[in-house]
Amino acid sequence: MAEHTGEHEKHQSESLIDKITEKLHDADSSSSDSDGDNDIKSAASGVKSKIYRLFGREKPLHKVLGGGKPADIFLWRDKKVSAGVLGAATVIWVLFELLEYHLLALVCHILILGLAIVFLWSNAASFIKKSPPRIPEVVIPEDIVRDVASAFRSEVNFALAILRDIASGKDVKSFLAVIAGLWVLSILGSCLNFLTLFYIGFVLLHSVPLLYEKYEDQVDALAEKAEAELKKQYAVFNSQVLSKIPRGPLKDKKFL
């Protein structure tokens, strides 16, 4: 009986040691697996950082466009909403450009039609024994107006500060880029009016990001080659022309 009890205790101690050994082995294997996962993640992040992205972009295209509802519209996440916005812009362009409708006349006609419908509905409700229409009270919140004005002021000040830095003669590359952009914009403005130019830009916002997201790798590869060629040409132009232009220093002042 005593021998049987001793063998039973010995068997329990051996099984306990085996369980502890298995747990230690599982912990070592899980730690090695986690180390391997970390190595794979670090290698993947290193490879990802070496991939060329257009304009040095590091964030996804959805976040570059601001995220939220505007980015969803530009990238056609909700096709009905995107099609509705683009359709409304097209109707406005057709009214003002093709049909040569005037803004003031359009607003007046819409108000006349709306007021006439509501007025007739309100007076006819008693005859047809139906409830009159509920006209909502529309009030523009003061906070929204302040936020919009503050954001517009910040953007204007930021643009003026950039123009001041470019005009100071510190960055010739930015100066040439802005001059070329304004020259192209002036050519487009002489050929197209503001509404048509705005509509073309609106259509491009609804098409170019979608196509870029679909063919991102191919576009980035072509952009990398184009950027390398432009850098070569700019280096030649800089050494032969820009480096010989004297630059006048401009004292830095705080821009409010």
Q: What percent of the chain has pLDDT above 70?
A: 73
* pTM as predicted: 0.58
Phi-psi region of 216 (alpha: psi -120 to 50; beta: other; left: phi over 0): alpha
pLDDT, one tens digit per residue, over 113-163 is 999 998 888 888 777 777 777 888 888 888 888 988 998 899 899 989 988
How many degrees, rounded to 5, is the angle at CA 168 between CA 163 and CA 173? 75
Residue range 213-237: average pLDDT? 85
Q: What is the mean pLDDT of the chain?
A: 76
pLDDT, one tens digit per residue, over 226-253 is 888 888 888 887 787 767 666 655 444 4
CA nearest to 82, candidates 67, 95, 69, 94? 69
Q: What percent of the chain has pLDDT above 90?
A: 15
- Find all residues with CB under 8 Å of 12, minimum gap 6, and list them: none
Task: Choose between 137 and 37: higher pLDDT.
Answer: 137
The reported pLDDT for the residue numbered 86 is 93
Is the confidence at residue 215, as pLDDT, over 50? yes
CA nearest to 54, candidates 234, 233, 209? 209
Task: Choose between 16 and 127: higher pLDDT.
Answer: 127
Is the confidence at residue 93, as pLDDT, over 80? yes
Is the confidence at residue 191, as pLDDT, over 90? no
Tokens of 110: 């819409």
Task: Choose between 15 and 150: higher pLDDT.
Answer: 150
**CA dihedral for 193, 203, 146, 164, sign (positive or negative):** negative
